[in-house]
Structures are given as C-alpha cells and as structure tokens.
Structure 1
Amino acid sequence: MSVPNDPRNRRGGRVPRAVAVLAVVAALLLATGCRFGRERDEAGITFWTPHVTPDRIAQQEATARRFTERTGIEVTVVPMGAADQNQALVTGVASGDVPDVILLAPDQAATWSRQGLLDTGTAEQVVADLGRETFSARALDMVTLDGRLAAVPSDGWGQVLVYRTDLFEAAGLDPPESLDEVASAARRLRTDGRAGIVLGTRPGDPFSEQTLEALLLANGCRLVDRSGAIALAEPACVEGLRLYAEMAAASVRGDQDVETTRAAYLAGEAAMLFWGSHIFDELAGLAPDFPPTCPECRENPRFLAENSGVVTTLTGPDNDVGAQYGLTLNLGVPRGADAEAAGRFVRFLLGDGYVESLAVSPEGRVPLRTGTPESPGAFAEAWGRLPTGEDPRTRTPLAEVYGADTVAAIVSGAQGFRRWGYGTEDAVLAGALSAQNTLVADLGTLFATGDAHRYARGMATAAADVRADVG
C-alpha cells in the first residue's frame, strides 16, 4: 500500500513539494477565477484513497458497494498515493473537477485548508452528528486549523518499541518505559552476535525523520515554543539527541532504514526494535513476504510474537508524561464536492462501514473513533478481533496473538498520538520539514561526533530556513 509515512513504504510516502504545489494552486485560482464548481453525475461520487494495492482496493470497493446498496449513490474508488493526490488536486482545482472524499494525512489537511480547498463545514457537521466525544481528541486537534476542522479523523498508526521479553528476563532487566532506560538496556544487551536495539539511522531518510521526531517528542522536545520561536536547540531536544546517539551506538552497524531494521529484528539480530505498528503481523509470521527468520522461528514461526513486549508511550528524562508519535488518516471533503453525498459516505465509513474499513489493514489502521455514544468501546473491541496478515488462509486477530491487554494498549496509545506542529499555525512548517527530511539530512554527524548540542543548533537553523521558505 502507499500510505503517508507508512514504514512499509520505502520512500516514506510523504508529500514532497506540497507547499510548492499548493502555491501553484493559488496561482491557478487567481488566473482562472475558479469557483470550485462543476457539473457532476448526481448519482455518483469519487473517493481518493492512498491504500493502492490490489487487495486493498478490492476491499474498499466492496465497502463502497455496500454504501451504494444502502443509498443508491455510486462510489468510484480511485487509488492514489499522497504525492499524486497533491498533483491531481492542482489539476482538479484548475478545471473545477474535484473528488468528493479524500483519505488524507494531517499535513495535507493543513496545507489544503490554508489554501481554502477543504469544506470545513461538512467536516464539522459530520463530527457533530457522530458525536465529538467518540473521537480521539488529539486526532481532532491534529486536523483543526484556526478553530475549524479541516477533515474527520479515521484511523492511524503509531511508532512503538518492541523488545525481546526473553532477553530482558535473562538479563534481569525490567521492561523499558523511558528513553534513558531504552538506551541503558541497549548498551547492556549488545553482544558480539546481537545488537541492543535497531532503529532508523540513515541520513536523509524518511524513516529516520520519523524516528528522530518520535524520540524527541518523547523527551518533550518542541518544534516551536509558546512565543513562536524555533525551539529545537532547547535542552530537552539536546538530551533527546544524546539518547538517540547512544541507541545508535548499540544498534546494528551501518546506516539503518525501514527495511534493514525490520529484517534485523525478524532475524533475531536485535534485542529491541523501534518501528510502526505495521510490524505486528510480521512478528507473528502472518506476512509471507517478511517472515521471521530467527533461529527459534524455524520451529515456531510465532516465537517473536510470543517473546516480544510492546511499549506505545515512552517518557524521557525531561518529560515524565511521555508521548507517542503517530500518523493519522482523515476523511476530507474538498470545496466544490457533492457535500451532501460526501457527508453521507464519510458517516458510513465511520459508522456501519467503519470496522470493515479498518479491516483493510488492521495493524496499520488503529481506530480513532473507539465507539458510538451508545456503545463507546464498540469499534475498539471489534478492531482487536479483526484478522490480520497478508495470506487469507492464515489471517489471525491481533488479540488472539498478543492478548487483550496489548491490543487495549495499542488502541489507548492511538488516542494520544502526537506530532510537531499539527493542529497549530506551524502545521505547514512541520509538514515541509517532514516532506524534505530536513532534520536528518546530516544525521551521520550526530552519530560520528556525539555532539548533540551542535546538532540541535543545526536543526534549529535548518527549520528556520524552511520556515522562511514556506512563509
């Protein structure tokens, strides 16, 4: 699938050149006087989705057909990665032909909302109708700009720490809960044949950008302070970088990315892994393309699942509350869409069709609407029972593999996902930094020198330069 920031996507799936693209949109609007109007087929709507693999498309089309059977409204499902969505929206805005519903990331919501391309009224009405209290407050915040909802939260995935419970027990170590405990355990568990941890370290890589933000968020590092100044050189950021460098020193040697980190943990070559929640089916041997290959896995393909613990929210020396990095997907309605039909489809996707939608990829689609006003935990409970895995013959519910407590922790963690800048006036800056992998462009210097102060100052300068570019 091609989902924004999905760790399975080698390129990270971010939205490159989003700011430049939307600048073109603004110019087109001025040049054409476009009013976002279009003649449309009254019986049908169009849905853009970043879930683009054939099996995912088939599942989404089946859900759309159920909506059509109920309402008589035809839905055309258009698979389109996030970067292509941005380019296609430029063309659509210029011609007055826009889709009706888009499954989009928070940075897209921020950029498009700033340009006036999203129907905030429909988003607000859908959330009010479904019950604002049934949604993750943090997820709502991430797509709220100037007090208005740009889109409606659907689901998301978060960065998690996976650790070998058998190795921790053998070493007499308690489960890690903070960044300093992770760094200490990584040093302790590193041996000649096994790394203490494996995590993203490749300079200029999207996965490293995710890793850096996740670790710094956990220590309370802020992108921007309350006065609006870039805050990346503050002590919490410096300490977070220092601990990141410590972890990297105990990691598998060489630059590590999304594929090499996963391979190392699945091979039993690391005691800990920092990755996205998409890893859960692979740990359980449910993803044939990425099978566990550790020595113990030959006799028991579920060895890693049975001997791995999960930490969703990590704290830090400067942040005893902690944070979990997470990316959400949201349902947005462009201005000029068939708002009435689009609103009905969004309500369906978050209501009667919600569990079916989450089933497209449960390990990467954690619900951000946990239930209904009448049954607050219904969707969360149903999600835990959804079968996961790539092979229909072996798909198994996460709760059956990992237990109810772990599933509950995953859902609970998702309700508090955090990202720099999203939901504030700095959302476009945050999106641009992430799209360009700005903060990890020179990551190798941090690991080579261990000079966290210098690297933090460099990050702050780079962020200030990007801010000047995006305005």
Structure 2
Amino acid sequence: MTRTPTQRLVAPLAMAAVIGLLAGCSAGTPDTDDTGTGEASGSVVFWTPQTTPDRLAAQEAVAAAFTEETGIEVEVVPMAGADQDQALVTGSATGDVPDVILHSSSQTGAWTSQGLLDADAATATVETLGLDTFNEHAIDAVTIDDQISAVPSDGWTHLIAYRADLLEQAGVDVPTSVEELADAATEVKEKLGITGLAFGTQAGTASATEGIQSIFQSAGCDLVEDGEVTIDSDACTEAAEQFLRLRDSSVAGDFDVTSARAAYLNGDAAMLLFSTHILDELAGLDPATPATCPECAAQPTFLADNTEFITVLDEDDPAQYGAILSYGIPTGANTAAAQKYIEYVMSTGYVDTLAVATEGRIPLRNGSADNPTEFIEAWGGLGIGPDQQKTSVDLYGEDFVDGMRDGINSVYLWGMGTPDATLAGLVSSQGVLSGQIEQLYNGVPADEVTAAMKAAVEEVQAGL
C-alpha cells in the first residue's frame, strides 16, 4: 500500500468532533456485573488511530466476533493520536473515558506520567497472556517506573533493502555495521555511478528526523541517559560522521521519504533505508507506487526477486528504529471488560487484526505459551499489498520471516520505557536534530554539530 513511515494513519479530527465523541465514553460503567461475581460485563468503548475504511472494517469485524463470544458490546471509535491526547485529558477531568485505546509508545509514557492509564490493569493483562510471549523490547517500551503501563500490540521497523545483484557487481559485502554500510554505499557510488543508500536526509524535515535517529541509534548513539543529554558523545559524533558519508553517497542530492523510495524503485539506488511498508511496492503490488526500474516492465517482480534485506544492522547491539502500538486501559475504565477485550484481540482475534495492514503491523506478541512463534509465523502467511494476493513468504521466502522477527524484536526508540521518553518524543516531533544537521552538510566538524545538537536538546529539556 502507498504509505511512508512519516505519514499518519488518519487525518486529524476537528476538535468539536473530538469533544462530541466523549459522549460515547464509558463514564460510570461498572467493572463487574450486577451479581458481584467479578465477571466482565457492560460494554467497551475502543479508540483506534487505524481509521482508513478497510482498517476500521477489520477492527469492527474483530469486535463483532468478540461480542458474539462474550456478549460484551464494543463501540469502535476512530480517532487520530493527536486528538486522543486532548480527548483523554478532557474525558478524565469529567469522568468520561474510553475503556481501551490503541496508541503509540510516546503516548504511553506521557499518559502514565499524568496518571491517565491503569498500569495495574495492563500488567495483569500481560501476565494473563504470558509475559514471555511478548517482544522484550516492546515490553521495555511500555514499562514505566518498573510497571507495565500498556499491552504491546504491533509495529514496524526500519530495514535496509539492497540489490544483491548490484552489491555483487560492485564487489562489496553485505554490511553489518553503520561504518560498513557507509563503506558499501560509497563504493557503489564510485564503481557503479548510482546512489549507494537512499534515505531521508533533507535538513529540517521529518524524513531527516527519522534518518538521523535510525542511523545514529544503529551506531550505538543514545540521545539521553538518566536525564543527561548524550547526543555529543563519542559514539554520536562517530555516527554523525558516518551519516554524512551515507548522505554523500547520493548522486541525486538530498532525499525525502518519497524521493528515496522512488530512487530505489527506479533502479537508481543500490540500497534503501525504509520502513516495512516497502514490501508490497518492491513486488509491484501497489498500482499507486509502481516499480519503475528498466527491467520491471518485462518482469514486475524484478526488484523483489533481486532484493534482500538487512533487518538488524548491528546484531551485537540491535536497536532498530520503528514504531510501537499498544493497548492502554484508562484510569476509570470498565477494567474487567477492557482486559477481556484486549486478551481477545491479542489471541483469537490477533491475526485478523494484523491482516488488514500486514506490512505495517508486525506482531509484538511472538506467539502463545504453547507455540512461541505462532503469531510471527502467521504474519508471514498474510497477504500484503492492496489486493493481498501474495504473502511475504511467497515473495521473499521463509527465511525472510525469521529476519523480520529478529528486526521487530530489536525495535527501539530513544528514551523508551524511561522518564526520558517525553524529552525524546518532543525532540523527534519538533525536528530538533534535523534542524541542526545542515551544519554537517556545510562542512562544520561532526563534534561541533553534535555539540550544537546537545544545546538544542537541552533547550527543549529546560522547558519541560
């Protein structure tokens, strides 16, 4: 499907509509049935940022199956993440809150710090499902003050797609570190005259924000540790130097997400740093974003046939940039029914929930206690692309699913699961680092650039 990592899944709702939705919240809904047995009863109001028609329909179908099994009605309310923030604060003040919210990891930290999430309920739900069945990094992302504050559902990560035929032609090995990646990209440019690595580098853009964070953290750089801004560390300065080499491997100037993808689809780049949303497009399955390489007209799957993937760049210290969605139970919700609903959508209804957007919804619960790889294996058998006629296994083989499991199990975001998550989220959303990166392009030494980055981050920190 035609999506980029920085695109939001839905358009923001008007604030008036958001406030209007609060009428559908579960104020005063009891946690137990009228008999006092402690069993789940009543209904569930579920807010979701997955609001495109096909995704909404899939979630409603899962909710209907849950209702049929339990008798608990579910109202699926589409709401963008930014609108969730305001609506939850407003609802909390009036006692009108939903019962379950699908949300991002940055929201988990912010809402927990404001006392808006029921961490006890989330922890109990994870324990019921089995803590060991979850992606460890995802659990870390939602663990605040040593307590699990939400239930990880699914996400996506960055990966590096590379033309195996072109790397072989250039005589370079598959890289296993950021430095090796820069070496390979530089050599491809010199020997083949095409872009080595296409990725977001346009200063001051969301594309560059993702590119910087992805490369920097894969190089062992941390933005902040225990409240101390560390973006000027030796590891980060080295990361900046390698970032510049990677940026300079382009023969077409700076890229945003769209132009980077186009360069690879055109056959003008040997490697591409992108999210897992690229999987269907490489195979020519998305008419809106076709593969346009010279060989693709005669062989629509040429890129998929010749592309391999690096899903974890540094296996010794994996930290793949990505996104995490989790189910949260607000304070004051119908806890028993909410827990039962989340347990259902993370087990019986899990695969159906993932299926509508396979490329971008990789399971964060790997399997069940009886079958530890049940859900990641099922993901590999789900259709991808608008028509969902082919699976990732069909296109890329069984080993690809193992690689994707390793990649999603290495998902990481600066500050996640720590009090620094709020600062890291603001630095990302405000494009603080991408606003400083142009200095690097203009010849300012890397250590001076990371020092400037540190000052800019500390300015944000001072305003918290």
Which of 404, 422, 445 aligns to 1:428? It is 422
Which of 351, 364, 371 aligns to 2:367? It is 371
- The question of 1:39 aligning with 2:28 is answered yes
**CA deviation profile, 1:408-435 (whole Å, cap 9, x unmatched):** 1111221121111111111111111111
Secondary structure at the counterpart of residue 189 of structure 1 = helix
Report deviation, 1:13. Answer: 8.3
- Distance in 1, Cα, partners of 2:274 & 2:183: 19
Report deviation, 1:91. Answer: 2.5
- The question of 1:111 aligning with 2:100 is answered no
Deviates more, 1:156-165 or 1:167-176: 167-176
Which of 337, 340, 346 aligns to 2:336? It is 340
What residue ranges of structure 2 are gaps of 5+ in the alignment?
13-24, 31-40
Contact 2:10 2:51 in 1 (8 A): no
Which residues of 2 match residues 184-195 of structure 1 at below 5 A? 184-190=183-189, 194-195=194-195
Contact 1:100 1:338 in 2 (8 A): yes
Closer, same or farther: CA 161–13 of 1 in aligned 2, 3 Å: farther
Contact 1:12 1:207 in 2 (8 A): no
Which residues of 2 match residues 75-224 of structure 1 at below 5 A? 75-190=74-189, 194-224=194-224
Closer, same or farther: CA 293–37 of 1 in aligned 2, 3 Å: closer
Contact 2:9 2:51 in 1 (8 A): no
- Distance in 2, Cα, partners of 1:455 & 1:290: 36
Q: How many residues align?
A: 441
Contact 1:193 1:269 in 2 (8 A): no
What residue ranges of structure 1 are gaps of 5+ in the alignment?
16-35
- The question of 1:238 aligning with 2:237 is answered yes
Residue 442 of structure 2 corresponds to: 448
Deviates more, 1:230-239 or 1:408-417: 408-417
**RMSD in angstroms over aligned alpha carbons?**
2.2
**CA deviation profile, 1:341-373 (whole Å, cap 9, x unmatched):** 111110011110111111121111111111111
Contact 2:140 2:416 in 1 (8 A): yes
Secondary structure at the counterpart of residue 373 of structure 1 = coil
- The question of 1:7 aligning with 2:7 is answered no
Residue 362 of structure 1 corresponds to: 358
Residue 302 of structure 1 corresponds to: 301
Which one-letter code corresponds to 2:342 in the other structure?
A: V
**CA deviation profile, 1:49-72 (whole Å, cap 9, x unmatched):** 111211111111111111111111
Secondary structure at the counterpart of residue 55 of structure 1 = helix
Secondary structure at the counterpart of residue 330 of structure 1 = strand
Secondary structure at the counterpart of residue 275 of structure 1 = strand
Secondary structure at the counterpart of residue 278 of structure 1 = helix
- Distance in 2, Cα, partners of 1:331 & 1:14: 21
Which of 385, 390, 399 aligns to 1:405? It is 399
Contact 1:288 1:391 in 2 (8 A): no
Residue 246 of structure 2 corresponds to: 247
Which one-letter code corresponds to 1:361 in the other structure?
A: A
**CA deviation profile, 1:297-354 (whole Å, cap 9, x unmatched):** 1111111111111101113xxx953421221111101111111111111001111011
Residue 16 of structure 2 corresponds to: none
Residue 271 of structure 1 corresponds to: 270
Closer, same or farther: CA 126–10 of 1 in aligned 2, 3 Å: closer
Contact 2:11 2:80 in 1 (8 A): no
- Distance in 1, Cα, partners of 2:398 & 2:163: 19
Which residues of 2 match residues 56-67 of structure 1 at below 5 A? 56-67=55-66
Which one-letter code corresponds to 1:38 in the other structure?
A: A
Percent identity, aligned pairs only?
A: 44
**CA deviation profile, 1:248-289 (whole Å, cap 9, x unmatched):** 111253332121111111111111101111111111112221
Contact 2:223 2:231 in 1 (8 A): yes
- Distance in 2, Cα, partners of 1:465 & 1:122: 36
Residue 18 of structure 1 corresponds to: none
Secondary structure at the counterpart of residue 220 of structure 1 = coil
**CA deviation profile, 1:144-189 (whole Å, cap 9, x unmatched):** 1111111011111111111110101112221121111111111111
**CA deviation profile, 1:52-106 (whole Å, cap 9, x unmatched):** 2111111111111111111111111122221121122233223221111111111
- Distance in 2, Cα, partners of 1:346 & 1:37: 16
Secondary structure at the counterpart of residue 296 of structure 2 = helix
- Distance in 2, Cα, partners of 1:12 & 1:47: 17
Closer, same or farther: CA 10–123 of 1 in aligned 2, 3 Å: closer
- Distance in 2, Cα, partners of 1:206 & 1:254: 17
- The question of 1:468 aligning with 2:462 is answered yes
Secondary structure at the counterpart of residue 181 of structure 1 = helix
Which one-letter code corresponds to 1:325 in the other structure?
A: Y
Which of 390, 393, 397 aligns to 1:396? It is 390
Which one-letter code corresponds to 1:7 in the other structure?
A: T
Contact 2:436 2:453 in 1 (8 A): no
- Distance in 2, Cα, partners of 1:66 & 1:12: 24
Report deviation, 1:230. Answer: 1.1
Which one-letter code corresponds to 2:449 in the other structure?
A: Y
- Distance in 1, Cα, partners of 2:268 & 2:83: 37
Contact 2:56 2:78 in 1 (8 A): yes
Which of 377, 380, 401 aligns to 2:376? It is 380
- Distance in 2, Cα, partners of 1:352 & 1:167: 43
Report deviation, 1:207. Answer: 2.4
- Distance in 2, Cα, partners of 1:437 & 1:464: 14
